[in-house]
Structure 1
């Protein structure tokens, strides 16, 4: 730690922390951005002694400023080119914990590319966001040529020095500088009181304060949060005595934490501007404070100085999501389950873009189709807006999150439109052989990097005049595939969209069919012929079912009277009992926002264990069977708003509620359990109608697995976490802001011993916990219904907020029993299959192209590698493939392509710097992928 007697270099960094939208909607916030950048440009142009202004490490504010101020493009470009207005490397400031790792890479990729268009990009990793730090961030940063990183959530001062080496699982390192215990905005904390009429007015404004003299607001909105008071304090003189007192106070807090003589004191506070007289303020500090060298600096200059001074720094490895003991910079990780519908929508859009649209548009372009680069770029830029930390965190006002859903819809519509055409182009250009007049083709596509056998469900059309009541499916050899009709629509018309002729609609019967497709090639397709025939009885075998039982060759599931299920894993001779009950607990409105989870003082858990559930078989075929279980959970309507006490936490006033309401209401829940032929997992879809407020609903799975750790997938990694909880009395964050020690996941969490193991597979549900009870109960969060906003004790019932998540919600997850560890039991692959399975295209005529009838575009001769993305390069006519080895062992494999390979190389993530040339032969590339490595491969196709 630092020597308090030594002379230090104080780096005062000017800048802002810019939330695109959070407390106010985007357009309201953009007006503040316009004012900020107008004034910043004037400041930089009028005073060359100011070295730099940091625009929060991102590009997006520049784009959205210039949309309203296009006349200032040359002015802003001049300042960026000169390195005085520092932007990037990020596009936006995302939360990296709940988004896919590929999204983090692309945020940097697009951010750097867009910044370069203005002449310069800051090459230091900096983000004042992300609710915790992901383990692979050093490897990602290194691959963009970045060896520094500044952040703070999840990095408490009592565990980490200010400067340390942070290492990724593959050995990549960055110099990490965490914010001091005074936060990232130490200089702003000091300077703000210099402009306040009274020091206490930085906390509460007096009714007679001069700060209110020119304040104004619209009066058309009733709620306090809707329309703020706006004023102008830029003309206020600074009180230099108060400035020096506060500066010295914060400096002496920071100094002992630093291991070098360089101390960073930033402005970097939310949406605030730099005072016009900043240079004079610094001169005054130099005059009064002779002990240290005080200078206006920048993030690049500060990091350069620290690099020259560091000696024997400690190295820390892995993710950092630790609570804070007594500091302000809480990790705020409880956004994991806030507005769960956003997390679900995000995962759907990410998968649609990265695992379907980009790869198959790239494949189609190799077959002569247009590659929709502009459309894909635009979809990504919409995604980056939604990935901004306060947006995806779910912790903003109403307008922000309704806009997010609109953007996800735009992303999905755009992706489906171009994917539709790309899959259609591939399907029309296959060889298929002739079709009879009453036949059509179904092309089944597999997005996974391995062969897939699974049930195909598709809605297919049969022209009304040739519909005979049934359907026959055959492969291209003529072998019949058992097929069942799940449902048949009444006759309807489907439009025929042509370019030259306006056609009447085609009358059809739309059939919902199912059949098992076996060994569909990796990242490829298989073809089937469809023909309407007279009705036949369902054929095949493999599923036994009743109202309370499902069974196939691997699993037997039974439903108990209270709706819990028992599972017998035939393959490994293990039984799990009492799984899948619901637990509901209260959430206090004390937190007033989306980051904290504070239970009522006298909280009580309500469960479905003592209720009577209704169970019935709703579908059964030789391929799959479904049981629907209906639950009624009696829970309090809300918090009891009559029992309120006013208190004070370390940083804000609280209004604490003692109890949940005595009024109980019915929470109706329905879960559909599906077991498919040859499946080793049970898929579950749960739908509920939430009509209660201030509560958290979880689904519980007692595992009876004697282990102390869990394994969960994270961006480009699978991490181990202890089950044992921290004592909340020793940690300010847990004591004051709720003892919630939940953890994130992307698609699975595994609880395992050598002889007994179970994985939970999820789709867009990022929060889990494992209780320290005798049964090691796994808890999956479904719903967090909270109050967000200011709360006054006189307000008995504040307006219902969308953060309460009232209405209908549907969740998808699965249970996968197995033995041994996740890496030996195929957990990673099962999670992928749960999230990504077949998509099919129906073609009414034969294929007329030269593509093989059944083929893989990309495959491997050794399993284990995951594919983060396949796309076309932005800079050349080449294919980009990003591979991930999530395992602890090296993978040696050959990658086979559907085309002849001219050359292949490993590049950085910008796809510019060649790191290694790869041996190629004909259509294959030899690969050696080290543990936990992310490889970006650029391939030139013949």
Structure 2
């Protein structure tokens, strides 16, 4: 007997907010689509459901133009006819941070809460690969499924099914398992998310349509429930779908055609899946493909966007949120949930895959720069207000080692680990408000004639810290009091640069500039020594070689890493999605160039050596490339080469070694005037290993150096977040970065780590011809990364912690009477100690990594999160320094779970662990 099949038609539109047209072009079409959807729902009760692409932002975008339609739209969401959520936007998972992925889910749930309904569909229709911890994240959010379009097996262009013997799953349904063991039902769009679009309502055409589409769906389905996605990219509503379903039902007696939704479809599939579903583990990165369609090179398209994103995410996650939480716990300033929602939403509007991946037209990415700035400025304002409020409440009279003329300042460590590093802060020695003088110029002159004498940096215990104090002269400034008009002034400033050692994690310490006393006790530091072009501290020796590369010796292990940071340049005749080197081209490198080397800074706490390389590289691809793009020659078939004409590329690199540091910091600046090329930094490890490790979303993913046998792309570039690591089990090399998301471990016999610094391309690619001249990234560029040699396990040795801290900025503000204390005007009765720590945890030698500390908008609890980098269980021992009513286990949606007793908690292998601390109100 033939089993009756059910064809589930799910109406949707995959809505890229911006892509091959500017945002407002797409926005206009969205308004038209939503108008049509509401009219269709009003008119046709048989048009039962519409899936709003898994993202709540569509409602915001529509109502921005059509606020008068809110009641209509919201009614259909409440009724469940429009399926809403669970995400705020459809993000690129690998190019957005761990916490950004969670904020996306959290904000989506917050947006949906007023309606009382939310789609619990783990929707990833067009992500360029899927993060390995997605099942764990979804499970913690109460979502037991994942619907995705990429990462497991290939689909062809225009809905063509492609066969391959190496499919990881024989079905479109599978079990997807995270490293921690969490599982969800995974469903692949094996025939893409448009296999049910434009269903004919004329019998002959419908017969031909369904004969083909039913057969292709049955080819991969493990159950009689077949998925047909009635829509595609920016697809208008099929208003005659009900009639098309009636026609189809008459043609096929053994198929039930239903206008369905994901809830019903997933429930039906779950009840019918066979016992032999394949288990797919961890990351889904399409490794069993030819390697051309993985779109991984979007990680290097428009690197400047990735840098802005990394900086913006870090400011919010690792500075603004913890500082605002500290301020509320101290009772000096309320946590600004509304500002965080605005800042995160603005930032996440840049996180859709066609946006953050840098694979859109130029107008899109220009607008992204503005959004990054808006989010960043909001975060910076929160940081400033929170830090000033706390510093203003610090009782600076507590130290007997500071006199009345001392200038105190407070340094915050929000990185999550105890930390050492060099701090730069501008301090005011004296200031005069405009009414105090006949003119600002006169006030400035008076300030600059004052003699302030010599100062030194002293902590609360009287220890002197090595420091450089630079007189900056008089400068304009202003205060914005909460109870009166702005107060402009002229101020005499100094810039203080000093080394702080072992600053407490999630805490602060107050120092002061005091009049110099040669008899005062100095703090012992692991001073940096410089001998020619060699820098050395107690842990590392860094020798800058004649070609501008650096040799780093790890003293504890004796391991020497030579030839690090040679630059490589190749042509690129691909597009924003895909890197393609011209056939037969030999890579250019700086290995045999002569660098101009100089010592630009030398002090007990920091040394900086600069290398300048003058390099001539091809100006761009030749004329054939322009022709091949214009007539749409596939990038794999292009024959263009680079032109013989060259342009100068001057690479200015600074290598920085700080006292006591485990890393060599690198900053490279250049003015790019070449087109159609890629620039990388090379780090030969000379370590024997078949695998390497890359920081990803809530995990350090273990990846093979050699791709699958089906991989024919000569390039095997991959995604990273904070770092990539090669180790032989004893020695290892970690290369950390700030917003450099693409790397490759080369099959050169040396396991060289190659980090992409720039990729210049000139077209969008994909399905049409879209010129993108601004993707050539012409002009001044600057990139930052760090070299961290290590011994033993990457997590337990502390190397990963160093890499995670590398991009996190220090926050330092002036305290005392000369500082601007307007932010704590309502908390003048509060007196804080000179140093403090809000949350202590067992970071030393642990496989746990700190992720976030913030306040929950729902409960008012302090949310703290860690994740286990290791396969074995770890014990989290975290003790708050603030008074709590209760402590709960929590999840990615910040919900209270079971109550915790004591400070210790077991964290299973690769587990994401969240705690919810209910603070005692004042």
**TM-score over 0.5 (shorter chain):** yes
Quote how far apart the aligned CAs of 1:876 are. Answer: 3.0
1:92 Cα deviation after fit: 0.5
User: In the alignment, does 2:345 pair up with 1:381?
Assistant: yes
- Asked if 1:271 is matched to 2:271, the reply is no
Structure 2 residue 849 is the aligned partner of structure 1 residue 866:
yes
Aligned partner (choices 381, 404, 408) of residue 441 of structure 1: 408
1:219 maps to none
Q: Deviations over 1:503-541 (max 9, x none)?
A: 764443433322222222220011111135599999977
Task: Write the distance in 1 (CA, Å) between the matches of 2:812 and 2:359.
Answer: 38
- Provide the rounded CA distance (Å) in 2 between the counterparts of 1:442 and 1:52: 59
Q: Offset of 1:308 from its aligned partner?
A: 0.7
Among 154, 179, 184, which residue is 2:193 paired with? 184
User: For 2:636 and 2:527, how far apart are their aligned partners in 1?
Assistant: 58
Q: Is the 8 A contact 1:467 1:509 kept in 2?
A: no
2:64 equivalent in structure 1? 67
Q: Decide whether aligned partners of structure 1 residues 778 and 495 sit closer, same or farther in structure 2, where only a CA change above 3 A counts.
A: same
Of 556-565 and 630-639, the range deviating more from structure 2: 556-565
- Is contact 2:203–2:251 with CA below 8 Å preserved after alignment? no
8 Å Cα contact 2:577-2:765 kept in structure 1: no
Which SS does the other structure have where 2:350 is aligned? helix
Q: How does 1:728-743 map to 2 (within 5 A)?
A: 730-731=710-711, 734=712, 738-743=713-718
Report the counterpart of residue 117 of structure 2 in structure 1.
120
Moved more, 653-662 or 616-625: 653-662
1:624 aligns with 2:606: yes
Aligned pair in 2 of structure 1 residues 642, 878: CA closer, same or farther (>3 Å)? Answer: closer
Q: Distance in 1 between matches of 2:206 and 2:634?
A: 24
> What's the offset of the Cα at 1:51?
2.4
Q: Residue 428 of structure 1 aligns with which residue?
A: 392
Q: Give yes or no for contact 1:685–1:810 (8 Å, CA) kept in 2.
A: yes
> Unaligned 5+ residue runs, structure 1?
195-237
Which whole-Å CA distance do the structure 1 matches of 2:291 and 2:411 have between them? 55
1:454 pairs with 2:433: no
Q: Deviations over 1:31-54 (max 9, x none)?
A: 111111111111112111222111
Question: Counterpart of 2:889 in 1: which secondary structure?
Answer: strand
Q: Please, what TM-score do these two structures have when normalized by structure 1?
A: 0.88
Q: Is 1:659 the equivalent of 2:631? A: no
Report the alpha carbon displacement of residue 382 of structure 1 after superposing the two structures with TM.
Answer: 0.7
1:354 to 317, 323, 340: 317
**Matches of 2:701 and 2:765, distance apart in 1:** 37
Which structure 2 residues correspond to residues 641-660 of structure 1 after superposition, within 5 A? 641-642=623-624, 656-660=638-642
Q: CA deviation at 1:632?
A: 1.8
Question: Residue 553 of structure 1 corresponds to which residue in structure 2?
Answer: 538
Going from structure 1 to structure 2, the CA distance change for 1:65 and 1:432 (only over 3 Å counts) comes to same
Distance 1:496 1:667 in 2: 44
**Residues 132, 650 of structure 1: alpha-carbon distance in 2 compared, 3 angstrom cutoff:** farther
Q: Select 1:316's aligned residue among 277, 280, 295.
A: 280
Corresponding position: 1:819 with 2:791: yes
The 8 Å contact of residues 668 and 689 in structure 1, kept in 2 or not, is answered as yes
Matched length: 872
Structure 2: distance between partners of 1:467 and 1:786: 56
The 1:278/1:918 distance shift into structure 2, 3 A limit, reads same
Aligned to 1:563, which of 548, 555, 579? Answer: 548
Distance 1:778 1:48 in 2: 59
CA shift, 1:649, in A, is: 12
Q: Deviations over 1:11-40 (max 9, x none)?
A: 111111001111111211111111111111
Deviation at 1:477, TM superposition (A): 2.1
Q: Is the 8 A contact 1:492 1:508 kept in 2?
A: yes
Cα separation, 2, equivalents of 1:761 and 1:467? 44
Q: CA deviation at 1:413?
A: 0.9
Q: Distance in 1 between matches of 2:767 and 2:381?
A: 48
Q: CA RMSD in A?
A: 2.8
CA distance in 1 between partners of 2:532 and 2:23 (Å) = 51
CA contact (8 A) 1:449 1:859 kept: no
- State the partner residue of 2:572: 587
The reply to whether residue 55 of structure 1 matches residue 52 of structure 2 is yes
Corresponding residue for residue 235 of structure 1: none
Report Cα offsets for 1:822-849 as digits up to 9, x if no partner.
1332121111221225221112329974
Deviations 1:604-662 (A, max 9, x none): 31111122111111111111110110112221111102467769999969882421111
> Cα–Cα, structure 1 residues 494 and 935, in superposed 2: closer, same or farther, change >3 Å?
same
Q: How far is 1:83 from its partner?
A: 1.1
- The match for 2:437 is none
Q: How far apart in 1 are the matches of 2:291 and 2:705?
A: 25
Aligned partner of 1:214 in structure 2 is none
Q: C-alpha deviations, 1:567-620, integer Å up to 9, x for none? A: 2222211212221111111111xx4x4212222234331111122111111111
Q: Which residues in structure 2 correspond to 1:338-353 (within 5 Å)?
A: 338-353=301-316
Report the CA distance between 1:710 and its aligned residue: 0.5
Are 1:862 and 1:892, in contact at CA under 8 Å, matched by a contact in 2? no
- Cα gap change, 1:488 to 1:726, in 2 (>3 Å): farther
**SS of the counterpart of 1:355?**
helix
